[in-house]
Amino acid sequence: MRPILMKGHERPLTFLKYNRDGDLLFSCAKDHTPTVWFADNGERLGTYRGHNGAVWTCDVSRDSMRLITGSADQTVKLWNVQKGTQLYTFNFGSPARSVEFAIGDKLAVITTDPFMELTSAIHVKRIAGDSTEQTEESVLVIKGPQGRINRAVWGPLNRTIISAGEDAVIRIWDFETGKLLKESDKESGHKKTITSLTKAADGSHFLSGSLDKSAKLWDTRTLTLIKTYSTERPVNAVAMSPLLDHVVLGGGQDASAVTTTDHRAGKFEAKFYDKILQEEIGGVKGHFGPINALAFNPDGKSCSSGGEDGYVRLHHFDPDYFNIKI
């Protein structure tokens, strides 16, 4: 089917997120305004105004009531999804790079960039059920990894936090003590900056994408490397189908290095791989510029991609897609 082209952002996309029901799609971009769309027809539902810098990331609560966004304006904001109003603002001394609600939505993990004298850090905040009782206080702050931490997510039962970033190492931290539990080793791990990390629906395994032109699949509990998917270009975004054994990698040449000779030179395709056999099965072209964000609808029947070109492309799969055999 023809993809639905969703134009609403004026700057490159940074992040995409479906709610649990799969009817809403939240998009973040460098243009300060996170936007919510109907996930089936791509109609724009509303925007969340208030940030004063590029919005890098977001997450939505399980009941789709609350949205949390992290921005380069050094704040993380909680929003009322329906009304678009700000509920609370966490202030940091440096840009917020990633946010995620824990299971139960009572905690959120936030990573902040190194900025001025501050080093990068992972913060855990308690999210109050009633936003009037919300406090600024951090439950836990983890420091240590060099360079930006591009993504931090919760492990099973909120017991661990998994982080990855510029130093190309994936780390698992204990949430109770803040201690480092496991580290991916140099041999099997990524060689360059890890740009994205996405968990499977049940959180049992996760996929990391890196500028070293590969994506790797890991076991969440043991940090065992299970699969490696290699491609020809740097990977900026990864997604896993919740339905079929497919993974999608998006990326491309750095926007500043894009040649002007041929649009294919940059390889701005989203590539589908068989999750088990690690073989390429197809690609979706369309973006004029690298792909920065990818997300699968929780029903596995559609996915969307966000590009440096400022567009979100929403793909509803054809029936053929579900019968791919290799």
List of residues contacting other proteins (CB under 8 A): 20, 62, 102-104, 106, 156-158, 201-202, 204-205, 213, 219, 221, 226, 230, 232-233, 242-245, 253, 257, 262, 264-267, 275-277, 298-300, 322
Question: CB of 232: closest distance to other proteins in angstroms?
Answer: 6
CA pair distance 110, 268, nearest whole angstrom: 29
Phi/psi at 256 (5° precision): -75, -15
Report the residue number, 49 or 62, with the smaller CB distance to other proteins: 62
Burial of 75: CB neighbours in 10 Å, binned 0-12, 13-18, 19+: buried
The helix/strand/coil state of 274 is strand
CA pair distance 23, 16, nearest whole angstrom: 13
Report the residue number, 11 or 301, with the smaller CB distance to other proteins: 301
Question: CB of 213: closest distance to other proteins in angstroms?
Answer: 8
Report the residue number, 176 or 232, with the smaller CB distance to other proteins: 232
Report the residue number, 34 or 189, with the smaller CB distance to other proteins: 189
Report the residue number, 54 or 243, with the smaller CB distance to other proteins: 243
Element spanning 79, H or E = strand 75-80
CA pair distance 313, 134, nearest whole angstrom: 36
Rounded alpha-carbon distances, angstroms, from residue 16 to 24, 92, 114, 222, 237: 11, 23, 24, 28, 10
Question: CB of 250: closest distance to other proteins in angstroms?
Answer: 15
Residues 169 and 189 sit within 8 Å (Cβ to Cβ): yes
Question: CB of 130: closest distance to other proteins in angstroms?
Answer: 14
Report the residue number, 48 or 229, with the smaller CB distance to other proteins: 229
Give the distance from CA 85 to its chain's centroid.
23
Question: CB of 300: closest distance to other proteins in angstroms?
Answer: 6
Give residues with Cβ within 8 angstroms of 321, minimum separation 6: none
Question: CB of 163: closest distance to other proteins in angstroms?
Answer: 21
Residues 149 and 163 sit within 8 Å (Cβ to Cβ): yes
CA pair distance 69, 257, nearest whole angstrom: 29
Report the residue number, 116 or 129, with the smaller CB distance to other proteins: 129
Question: CB of 202: closest distance to other proteins in angstroms?
Answer: 5
